[in-house]
């Protein structure tokens, strides 16, 4: 665990992306294991959970931001005060993928860091979803050029959602072996970190 995390005993994860890509849906699926198909406009919402890490309590804050570009000052402040970033696009919306490129540039500028902790998430990766963005194209850009992590997920089907949050926490050097102090969802982080979940694992009681 990094010294900064030890000192403040909390980390903040921020979800950024265009409107309607499913940022809120991913967070709700992770925290409450629910899915609301109707898009609801978000300005900014903060969620907070406490986890036990190596005998110490760590507060994990999850910031859900607006997809609207009418809040630039609020977005800049969100970036400034966060430790790791989920850049979310929808695989059926090529324009939403272009949006995360400019968001990444903004993160680099605000954080003054060439390699900030970023996980790129292609949401709505469901069969028959009218894909516009190919996973192999994104993988090449994100992992080779950006030196960041890339995952496809589906909040609707509950595919790879836990893995998204696991990757974010690993980006800030928190171990993935976390046991919720206040358990409000079915899935828990694995007790054995040597086992990785299959990509299509859904609705499991333990992700392992």
Q: How many CB atoms lie within 10 A of CB 91?
A: 25
Q: What is the reported pLDDT for 70?
A: 62
Q: What is the reported pLDDT for 128?
A: 80
Q: What is the reported pLDDT for 39?
A: 64
Per-residue pLDDT tens, the chain, 208 aa: give them: 444 444 457 899 999 999 999 999 999 999 999 888 776 766 678 999 887 766 778 889 999 987 766 667 888 888 999 999 999 999 999 999 999 999 999 999 999 988 899 999 999 999 887 899 999 999 999 999 999 999 999 999 999 999 999 899 888 876 544 444 433 333 344 433 333 333 333 333 333 3
Class of domain 3-180: alpha beta
In degrees rounded to 5, what are phi and psi of residue 186? -70, -45
The DSSP 8-state label assigned to residue 43 in this structure reads S
Q: What is the reported pLDDT for 23?
A: 95
Contacts of 188 (CB under 8 A, 6+ apart): 179, 180, 205, 206, 207
Q: What is the reported pLDDT for 7?
A: 46
Domain extent listing, the chain: 3-180
Dihedral sign for Cα atoms in the order 196, 97, 171, 5: negative
Q: What is the reported pLDDT for 69?
A: 62
Q: What is the reported pLDDT for 54?
A: 67
């Amino acid at each position: 665990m990094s010294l900064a995390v030890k000192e403040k005993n909390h980390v903040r994860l921020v979800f950024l992306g265009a409107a309607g890509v499913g940022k809120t849906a991913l967070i709700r699926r992770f925290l409450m294991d629910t899915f609301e198909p109707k898009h609801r406009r978000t300005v900014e919402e903060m969620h907070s959970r406490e986890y036990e890490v190596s005998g110490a309590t760590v507060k994990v804050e999850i910031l859900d931001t607006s997809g609207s570009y009418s809040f630039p000052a609020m977005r800049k402040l969100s970036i400034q005060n966060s430790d790791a970033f989920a850049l979310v696009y929808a695989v059926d919306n090529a324009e939403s993928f272009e949006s995360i490129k400019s968001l990444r540039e903004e993160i680099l500028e605000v954080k003054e860091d060439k390699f900030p902790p970023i996980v790129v998430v292609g949401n709505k990766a469901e069969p028959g979803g009218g894909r516009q963005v190919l996973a192999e194209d994104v993988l090449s850009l994100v992992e080779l050029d950006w030196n960041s992590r890339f995952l496809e997920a589906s909040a609707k089907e509950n595919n790879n959602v836990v893995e998204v949050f696991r990757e974010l926490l690993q980006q800030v050097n928190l171990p993935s072996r976390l046991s919720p102090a206040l358990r409000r969802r079915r899935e828990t982080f694995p007790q054995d970190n040597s086992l990785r979940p299959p990509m299509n694992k859904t609705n499991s009681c333990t992700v392992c």
